[in-house]
Every structure is written in structure tokens, then in C-alpha cells.
Copies of this chain bind each other. A is one copy, B any other.
Amino acid sequence: MDKLKVAVLGATGLVGQAFISMLSKHPWFEVEAVAASPAKAGVKYGEAVSWHLEEPIPPEVSGQTLKEPVPEKLSKDIDLVFSALPSNAASEVEPLFARAGYIVVSNASPFRMDPDVPLIVPEVNPDHLRLLGEQRRRRGWRGALVKNPNCSTAILVLTLKPLMDSFGLKRAVVTTLQALSGAGYRGVPGMAILDNVLPYIPGEEEKLMYEPRKILGTLEGGWVKHAEIPVSATTTRVPTLHGHLESVHVELGEDTDTRSLVEALENFGGLPQKLGLPTAPPAPVIVRHGEDRPQPRLDRDAGGGMSVVVGRVQHASLLGDAWFRYLVLGHNLVRGAAGNAILIAELMVRLGQKH
């Protein structure tokens, strides 16, 4: 089979680089076009990018010329568009691509909460892709716009979903310890974070509170009915490079024990695993039983960065019989960004929803 041709918008940022790196080894997709801010258009990718990943720039992309992120500048051959654009550019540009007939899978935050825009973690709510019918009707788009959730959300809901399915879920209280790369390469000065923790990440707490309700919601009458799951989150930045750690307390819908809860997490799998999608990890949730795990540096690459790692599952019995606590860690650039978007695209291709 010929590989599908994809474009990456916002290809020079840190998430853009993660897209380029993952796509360069992809069995189905090949990078046909790269776009960044108009100021860089016309420059070779390898010269325009300040490359920050440990693996080198893929040579087949390094020589490509950056384009402006507008549909007219892309070849009609492009099958899929990945967007890692910054928010303001994304809100302008992504609809243009969708209108022009492109499937856009985007990591940017605008439109995530729009009722006709699927917000997808493929193991959790693949059925929400059906919103695209409504999206096309409503907006008159020939293409489509599908969204990745916020990085911390994607990691969290992979654990909330099996708990909700097995036991019901009444409340979640979350504190995150997020890595520097979540803020982009220049996002956090060295002086700000050395011997320090930043207790505030703009906009992050709201995303963690509202996005899970949509992702965990059910499709009713063509629309997503948001789940009634109160989440409260405090989000902090710690001096780690990659890997968001989340300390979670949940009140379940019924009593259970830690063994059952661990089983529910370990047995969790979804459509990507059933379909054997190339980027799907064998286990989306890995439970480590050592008492000092998960650790960002040791666990962030589990399942190629596509698994989340859970540890320290305990009964928080003082709070009530149905309260439990655990920690979960995921790679923010992979499962929390580029990897999840690529998995969405694989799912759409496999389900025949491409074009």
C-alpha cells in the first residue's frame, strides 16, 4: 500500500517536532508538507527549526521547504493534516483547511469544547467521531476537524474511563506535576524552575475540569451528553523534562477493593488495540507494583510513550469506602500530544473516515 501523504502545520514547535519524529517512522503515513508561521515560509525545515528532541531530524523532512499554513499552498494530494499550531493561529487556520476538504487532526485548544467537534482519546471515545456528520452538515465543510485533548486530560481520562465503566465515578480530585516540555521549549526559564516549583499553569486547570466531562460523555441523539463527573484540579510545573505526573483521588460509584481497581485498569483496552493500529500500545494503562513508581524519568517512555503508567493504588478509606487514590504518569509530547493525534488519524483511516 502506498503511504498516505500528510502535512504538519506548526511543524517547528516542540509538538510539531514530535509529530515529525513519530511520522518519520510511521508505516502508513509520510510527511509530504510542513508548514509554520508565514515568516518562515520558503526556508528549509532543517534550517528553520531549532530542533530539541534527542533523536536527530529525519533527513527526508529536513530538506523540505516550509510552507505557509493555508490550504492554497498545500498540494491537493495531501490526505491528512496534523496541526500543532499555537492557539491563535489554529483558530484562524484550521477551519480553512476543514472547509477546503482536508481532515484536520489538531492538538491546538480552540474548538475543543464545540459541540460538533470530536475531542478524542481513541481508547476512550472513538464513537465520538460520529459527530463529524453533524459537523459537516452544520458547517458545510467537506473536510473535518478532530481534536486532541489537553496533555494532562489525555493522560487522566485513560484511567478514569475504566474506573467509570467498572464502578461508576462520582468525583475526581487531581494535582498535577507537569514537565517543562509541556510549556514549549522557551516556556519556562531555567531561573524560574531551578530549585523551585511553579504552582500555576495558565488555563490548565479549567481544561482538566471540563475536557474529561466531554470525552467521558455519551453520544445521545447525535450529540455528546457530557458526563456528570466533577473534577477539580491544581496544576503545577516541576523541573522534569518530559512526563506529566498526576496525583489522583477518586470517589467511585460503589465500594470496591484495590485489587479490583487494579484489574480494571490493567484490563483496559479499546478499539485501537482491537484493530491493531500501529501506534496503539499493547496496554494503554500499565500498573507498576513497586511502591516508588511511576517516576517521570523511568516511566515516561513506556509503550513508546503511548501507555500511561499507574502506581501506588490505595484505598483512601478515611475519606469514605468508595474513595481511592493513585498516581498516573504519561508522556506529554506523545500520549499527551503528537502520539494521540496520530492514533486518532490511524483510527479514522481504518474506519474509512478519511475523505
Cβ A238 vs Cβ B197 within 8 A? yes
Q: In whole Å, how far is A14's beta carbon from the nearest beta carbon of chain B?
A: 8
- Which residue in B189, B236, B239, B294 is a CB contact (below 8 Å) of A247? B236
Chain B CB count within 10 A is highest, among A180, A190, A295, for A190
Residues on B with C-beta less than 8 A from A275 are none
Closest to A288 in B: B199
Decide: A186 near B189, CB < 8 A? Known: A197-B296, A238-B238. yes
Residues on B with C-beta less than 8 A from A232 are 249, 316, 318-319, 323, 325
- Which residue in B188, B191, B198, B249 is a CB contact (below 8 Å) of A173? B249
Cβ B195 vs Cβ A195 within 8 A? yes
Residues on B with C-beta less than 8 A from A298 are 54, 196
Contact residues of A between 280 and 313, Cβ < 8 Å to B: 291-298, 301, 311-312
- Which residue in B175, B190, B247 is a CB contact (below 8 Å) of A190? B190
- Tell yes or no: A240 within 8 A of B by CB: yes
Closest to A200 in B: B292
Chain B CB count within 10 A is highest, among A209, A234, A245, A291, for A234
Decide: A190 near B197, CB < 8 A? Known: A318-B230, A318-B231. no
- Tell yes or no: A194 within 8 A of B by CB: yes
Q: In whole Å, how far is A74's beta carbon from the nearest beta carbon of chain B?
A: 30
Q: In whole Å, how far is A211's beta carbon from the nearest beta carbon of chain B?
A: 13
Q: In whole Å, how far is A114's beta carbon from the nearest beta carbon of chain B?
A: 21
Q: In whole Å, how far is A195's beta carbon from the nearest beta carbon of chain B?
A: 5
Instruction: Kindly state the separation between the CA atoms of A330 and B319 in the bound complex, as whole angstroms.
Output: 25
Q: In whole Å, how far is A228's beta carbon from the nearest beta carbon of chain B?
A: 10
Residues on B with C-beta less than 8 A from A291 are 200
- Tell yes or no: A351 within 8 A of B by CB: no
Residues on B with C-beta less than 8 A from A185 are 189, 191-192
- Tell yes or no: A327 within 8 A of B by CB: yes
Residues on B with C-beta less than 8 A from A236 are 177, 245, 247, 327
- Tell yes or no: A27 within 8 A of B by CB: no
Closest to A240 in B: B195
Shortest Cβ-Cβ A-B pairs, 3 listed = A175-B175, A230-B318, A232-B316
- Given contacts A177-B236, A186-B189, A238-B239, list 5 more A-B pairs with CB under 8 A: A194-B195, A195-B240, A197-B245, A232-B319, A236-B327
28 A-B pairs with C-beta separation under 8 A: A54-B301, A173-B173, A173-B249, A177-B177, A177-B238, A180-B189, A187-B189, A187-B190, A188-B191, A189-B189, A189-B190, A194-B195, A195-B297, A196-B240, A197-B238, A197-B295, A197-B296, A198-B292, A199-B245, A199-B247, A199-B292, A199-B295, A199-B312, A230-B318, A232-B318, A234-B247, A236-B247, A239-B239
Which A residues fall within an 8 A CB radius of B?
Answer: 52, 54, 171, 173, 175, 177, 180-181, 185-200, 209, 230-232, 234, 236, 238-241, 245, 247, 249, 291-298, 301, 311-312, 316, 318-320, 323, 325, 327
